[in-house]
Amino acid sequence: MPHYLLSVHSVEGQVREPMTEEDMRRSHERLGAIEQEMKSSGMWVFSGRLHQADTATVVRTAGGQTVTTDGPFAESKEHLGGFYIIRAGDLDAALALAAKVTAAIDTPIEVRPFAATSDE
């Protein structure tokens, strides 16, 4: 079964209306229900929420030496904030799940298929 990456991006400097405690509780409840649905259907593989992009460290080689620099790799205003790796029968199933997640967290979700996985 194909694997998909559902990625959640934050936009640097974009100010969102702060959530009330009640809004936050409802959002977490909806997200918890969606995640439980993913797990019980066998779609869920792994997920994670990341710290802010300014906590990143980039590792690269230059002139045969390993060099590390602070900050995100890309000079961008959008940064990866979290992700799900799922198994879905097809792109439509992955998009349907992404629609549920984006409705729960009010943040756009990018859906990308993996090129190949070991169980395909």
Residue ranges of domains in the chain: 3-113
What pLDDT sits at residue 52? 77
Q: What is the pLDDT of residues 16-56, one digit of tens each?
A: 677 789 988 998 899 999 999 999 999 999 998 887 777 88
Name the pLDDT band for 114 (thresholds 50, 70, 90): very high
What CATH number should be reported for the domain whose range is 3-113? 3.30.70.1060
Distance, first Cα to last Cα, the chain? 6
Predicted confidence (pLDDT) at residue 117 exceeds the cutoff of 60: no
Q: What is the pLDDT of residues 52-105, one digit of tens each?
A: 777 888 888 889 999 888 876 666 666 778 899 999 999 999 999 999 999 888
In the chain, which ranges are E strands? 3-11, 44-49, 57-62, 65-70, 78-87, 109-113
